[in-house]
Amino acid sequence: MATATALPADARPPAHEQRPASIRARLWARPGGRAALILVALLILAAALAPVLAGLEGQDPNTYHDGLLNSATGGGPSGAFGGISSAHWLGVEPSTGRDVFARLVYGARVSLLVAGGATLGQLLIGLLVGLAAGLGNRWVDAVLGRFTDLALSFPALFFSIALLAVVPHSFPRPLLLCLILAGFGWASTARIVRAETLVLRERDFVAAARLYGAGTWRIARREILPGLAAPVATFTALAVPGNMVAEAGLSFLGLGVQPPTPSWGQMLSSATTWFQTDPEYVLVPALTLLLCVLAFTALGEAVRRAVDPKEQER
Partner 1 sequence: MTVFLLRRLLQAAAVLLVVAALVYGIFYLMPGDPASLACGKRCDAAELAQVRHAMGLDRPVYLQFWTFISSLFVGHSYDTGVGTTWCSAPCLGYSFQSYQPVTDMLLQRLPVDASLTVGAAILWLGLGIGFGLFAALRPNGLRDRVTTFVALTLGSVPIFILALLLLLVFCVWWQVLPFPTYVPLTQDPGQWFENLLLPWFAIALVSAGGYLRLTRAGVLEALNQDHIRTLRAYGYGERRVVTRHAVRGALPTVATMAATDIGVLLGGAVFTETMFGLPGLGKLAVDSANDIDLPVITGVTLLAAFLIVVVNIVADVFYAVLDPRVRIR
Amino acid at 268: L
Among residues 104, 127, 293, 302, the one that binds partner 1 under rule CB under 8 A = 293
168 belongs to the binding site for partner 1 (CB under 8 A): yes
Among residues 84, 190, 255, 284, the one that binds partner 1 under rule CB under 8 A = 255
Rounded Cα–Cα distance for residues 200 and 202 (Å): 5
Q: Which stretch binds partner 1 (CB under 8 A): 43-51, 96-104, 115-123, 287-295?
A: 287-295
Comparison of 40 and 206: residue with beta carbon closer to partner 1: 40
Rounded Cα–Cα distance for residues 171 and 179 (Å): 12
Among residues 7, 52, 80, 157, the one that binds partner 1 under rule CB under 8 A = 157
Amino acid at 21: A
Asked whether the beta carbons of 91 and 82 are under 8 A apart, the reply is yes
CB of 89 to partner 1, least distance (A): 21
- Specify the long-range contacts of residues 178-182, CB closer than 8 Å, at least 24 apart: 178/114, 178/117, 178/118, 178/121, 179/121, 181/114, 181/118, 181/121, 181/122, 181/243, 181/246, 181/247, 182/117, 182/118, 182/120, 182/121, 182/122, 182/124, 182/125
Amino acid at 86: S
CB of 217 to partner 1, least distance (A): 30
Among residues 79, 221, 283, 304, the one that binds partner 1 under rule CB under 8 A = 283
179 belongs to the binding site for partner 1 (CB under 8 A): no
74 belongs to the binding site for partner 1 (CB under 8 A): no
159 belongs to the binding site for partner 1 (CB under 8 A): yes
Question: Could you tell me which residues come within 8 angstroms of residue 134 by beta carbon, excluding any fewer than 6 positions away?
Answer: 141, 193, 194, 195, 196, 197, 198, 201, 224
* Residue 121 dihedral angles phi and psi, to the nearest 5°: -60, -45
Comparison of 143 and 162: residue with beta carbon closer to partner 1: 162
The number of residues that bind partner 1 (CB under 8 A) is 39
Asked whether the beta carbons of 251 and 264 are under 8 A apart, the reply is yes
Strand, helix or coil for residue 69: strand
| Residue 254, phi-psi category: left (phi > 0), alpha (psi -120 to 50), beta (remainder) | left
Among residues 268, 299, 303, 306, the one that binds partner 1 under rule CB under 8 A = 268
275 belongs to the binding site for partner 1 (CB under 8 A): yes
Comparison of 110 and 225: residue with beta carbon closer to partner 1: 110
Rounded Cα–Cα distance for residues 111 and 50 (Å): 13
192 belongs to the binding site for partner 1 (CB under 8 A): no
Residues 85-124, interacting with partner 1 (CB under 8 A): none
User: How large is the angle between the packed helices 187-200 and 173-185, nearest 10 degrees?
Assistant: 50
CB of 125 to partner 1, least distance (A): 17
259 belongs to the binding site for partner 1 (CB under 8 A): no
154 belongs to the binding site for partner 1 (CB under 8 A): yes
Binding site for partner 1 (CB under 8 A): 149-150, 153-155, 157-159, 161-168, 241, 245, 248-249, 252-255, 268, 271-272, 275-276, 279, 282-283, 286, 289-290, 293-294, 297, 301
